[in-house]
Amino acid sequence: MTPYLGTLSGAAEAPSAQRESLSAEAFAAAQIPRGGEAAKALNAMAARVANADPALRTLTRDFQDAQRQGERLHTLLGAEMLKPGDERDAKSEERLKQQLREAEERMAQLERRLQAEAPRYMRLTTARPVSVTDLVPLLRPNEALVLFLPARDATFVFLVRDGKVHLHQAPVDGRPSQRRSRPCGRPST
């Protein structure tokens, strides 16, 4: 995510008619890493406990199990593919790919059923980034939202105020930033 945000940050700082949309895109992208495994597990558990229907409770459990299986297979396949060429096992790789395709199809089937039978569950457990357009009406006059996204080499700082995204990439190495933070859509002075 960091290289993508760095690219968007650099492009948003350049004089451009697209500055505002690039900063808004970076703001949405910065929210993606925020959903940790613990938060997802708590959301899923809360939705499952809140669901009084035993059939839907079983369906949500099956969906969660299928997601974990897919993640496990992705990890195993990735580990196999990262081995040096002479240590890789083509048959094992193919078997893992086939299992992964089957797991992804199972997840897709269960997700379609959940969307149809329990749309509330899907809304509760599927975190989506909040767009600037959706956020602005929630802020009162003279109110702002600040989002920090620390990365290894920089911290990305987003300030949403007056309907605009202000984006700053602060280097972590202690050197002063070469970029000035400025509102999107306004020329630098």
DSSP assignment string, 45-61: HHHHHH---HHHHHHHH
Q: How many Cα atoms are found within 13 Å in the side-chain-facing hemisphere of 9?
A: 24
Q: If phi over 0 gives left and psi between -120 and 50 gives alpha, with beta otherwise, what is residue 92?
A: alpha
Each of the 189 residues of the chain gets a pLDDT tens digit; together they read: 677 788 888 777 766 667 888 888 888 888 876 655 555 665 665 565 555 677 777 888 898 899 899 888 988 888 888 788 888 898 998 999 999 999 999 999 998 998 888 776 666 666 667 788 888 888 888 899 999 988 888 899 999 998 888 898 988 875 555 544 444 444 444
Question: How many angstroms from the chain centroid is the CA of residue 127?
Answer: 8
On whether the pTM is more than 0.75, the answer is no
Nearest to 29 by CA among 7, 52, 57, 59: 7
| Residue 187: predicted pLDDT | 40
- Measured CA to CA, the distance from residue 91 to residue 127 in angstroms comes to 37
Going from N- to C-terminal start, the domains of the chain cover 2-33+130-183, 36-125
**Do residues 97 and 76 lie in contact, with contact meaning Cβ atoms separated by under 8 Å?**
no
Residue listed under structure tokens 């993606």: 32
Q: Tell me the pLDDT tens digit for each residue of 21-55.
A: 888 888 888 887 665 555 566 566 556 555 567 77
Share of the chain above pLDDT 90, in %: 17
